[in-house]
Amino acid sequence: FKLLGFLDVKNVPCARESILYGSVGSFVIGLGHFVATSRVRRSCDFAVGGFICTMLGYWFYCRYNYAQHRIRQRMIREGMKNKLLFEGSSLDPERKQTGNERSDS
């Protein structure tokens, strides 16, 4: 579904988790402030602020980890492609060169 008409929560990585963690953070912070002070309006303000802070905090954390994961995947994919490309050739780093091959090159 789309949140606020433009954020497609199902297809955007980390969006669903950020909203869920933001909701839980909002509830915890708002309830904690209400229990401590018994001020309803101020507790609602704290709950909205808690939602925004928790959601944005988890969003950046999740997107950072997602970017790292994609970089690692790209490196592995390129390494596998190079392994297949150079396997058995003279450019293969795992291939042990014999004395005859060293003198030819």
Q: How far apart are CA 55 and CA 3, in angstroms?
A: 14
Q: How far apart are CA 49 and CA 45, in angstroms?
A: 6
Whole-number pLDDT of residue 30: 96
pLDDT tens for each residue of 5-58: 666 777 788 888 999 999 999 999 999 999 999 999 999 999 999 999 999 999
The three-state secondary structure class of 14 is coil
Domain ranges of the chain: 14-84
Work out the angle at residue 71's Cα, subtended by the Cα atoms of residues 69 and 75, and round it to the nearest 5 degrees.
115
Whole-number pLDDT of residue 3: 63
Whole-number pLDDT of residue 61: 96
